[in-house]
Each structure stands twice: as structure tokens, then as C-alpha cells.
A = this chain, B = another copy of it.
Amino acid sequence: MLYVIGLGLADEKDITLRGLEAIKKCVKVYVEAYTSLLSFGVSSAGLSTLEELYGRPVTLADREMVEERTDDILSEAHRSDVAFLVVGDPFGATTHTDLVVRAKKLGIKVNVIHNASVMNAIGVCGLQLYRYGETVSIPFFTETWRPDSFYEKILRNRQLGLHTLCLLDIRVKEPSLESLCRGRKCYEPPKYMTIQTAIEQLLEVEQMHGESAYGEESTCVGFARLGSEDQKLFSGSMRELMAVDFGAPLHCLVIVGKTHPVEEEMLEFYTIKTQNCGAKTERDRMILALH
């Protein structure tokens, strides 16, 4: 049996009782390191927090390892119970569909144990989950690579009055270009996009396209360390949010669509209090009304 188990968002205590029971039955436990294990007590010192809780050794599985060793992992899962742990929900922001497809093709039973993911936990800001349009990803721009396919999606969502969740880029264990050229693998330090960088890139793309999908005055909600004890959550214009220090990763951003009164009441608690607040809202309403 292959157990694919969501760890939730913040730390080792976010696992469910069902998930923990399953792990304790497994002979081998892998934890994915594709995305971010920042808050899960995982460091160069090892996986001790998780191992203590689970009472068994845990193997860190980065993308390379999973790709190279999928056959081994699956043949272990054929013979016995293997757990593959995933930050968030197994099918949340990051997909582990491929591993599951390969397991099922080999006739290995797969048991998925769900947990919270960014896709539902953003509900905490009060914007209704069923009022979101398509989710977009904002990749790190480089000198030569500035993809902007998110722009059209955000524009569509805004035209429909829907909110847009922007998932911000995470680069973990990326081989450095220099090392690739030299033929041996060295890795860039991990890189997590901040809300500030995301907004800068968004505004750059708006300036290029000029279709007023959004602007400096558009209301957004910025989230840092969603679901953890020290989560930070602010609502304000893009301009205002750029000035906020959200602290350590992970960050994500919601571009707010048309709001209902109950949504507004909740957002109010997270609104940055500045002068000219009314003016800001008015201008953004005009952009939304334009469509």
C-alpha cells in the first residue's frame, strides 16, 4: 500500500490522527522536499522533529530523488506499507499525480489522506472560496524569461468579479546555471518569492499589456506563513502591501474581485489603516466597474 499523506500547512502538529496512524504502520516513510518544509523542523541537522513524532526514520525525497528512485519506492510499496508525505494536501498546490498514476498502473493500492492546503486555508481572510476564479502562478522573472500568461487569467477573473489566488514561485534545489555548464551539479540556495516581488512583477506586466486588469490601487490580500501560529495577513492596495514587511516565507497573494458585505466586514479586520483609504477603494472600484 502507498499512503499519500497531507501534512497540512504549518508544522508537524498539523498531521491528522488518521495520517499519523497510517505512518506508524509503514515500514518506510518519505517526505517530499519539492516545495517547502521550512516550518516542519527540517534542517541540515535532519528530520528529527518529524522522526520523533512518528517514531521512525524519515527519508527526505527531493524531486531528483523521486524521479530517479520512483521504481524503488514503488517496489517497496508493492511489498509493504510505504508513506509518502506531502506538505499541504497531496493534490493541493503541488501535484503528486504522477507518482500515484504510476503506482496504480502497477496495481499498488493507493490511500490518500487529505489535509488543509493553501487552496482552502486562504478562506481565513473572509473571501468566499466559491468566489474565486482560476488560480495563477507567478514565476520568478529572469533577465531573459518573463512569462506573463497569468495576466490574461487575472483579467478574466476581474472581468467576472472573481478573486484570484496567486501562488508565488518557490525554487528549491535548482541546479545553478554555472554548475550545469561545468557538468557537475551545484545548487542555488532556495528562493521563495515575496509578496513585494510578486506585486512588482504584476505591475510590470500590467504596464506592458495596459488592459487595466488591475493597478497599484487594486485591493489585495497578502498572506505570510498561512496556517501557522505567526501567520501574517494584510489587506490593502498593491502599493500599500509593497510597503509591508511580511517576514519569512511562504507568501501568497489574493487579488480581490467584487466583494459582498460579509466579505468586506471580515477583510476590514486585516485592512492596513492609512489616509486616503476611500480614494484608493474608489479608484479600484472603477477598474472593476470598467469591465
Give chain A's interface residues, CB within 8 Å of chain B.
6, 8-10, 12-18, 20-21, 89-93, 95, 97-98, 100-101, 104, 112, 114-117, 119-121, 123-124, 126, 128-137, 156, 160, 162, 167, 227, 262-263, 265-266, 269
Contacts and interface: CB of A to CB of B under 8 A. Distances in A.
B16 A15 contact: yes
B265 A101 contact: yes
Copies in the complex: 2
A260 to B, nearest CB: 10
Contacts of A133: 133-134
Contact of A98 (B15, B117, B227, B262): B262
Contacts of A266: 97, 100-101
A41 B124 CA distance: 27
A14 B18 contact: yes
Nearest to A163: B134
Contacts of A112: 124
Contact of A116 (B93, B116, B123): B116
10 contacts: A15-B16, A17-B20, A93-B129, A97-B263, A97-B266, A114-B116, A115-B115, A117-B129, A130-B167, A134-B160
A114 B121 contact: yes
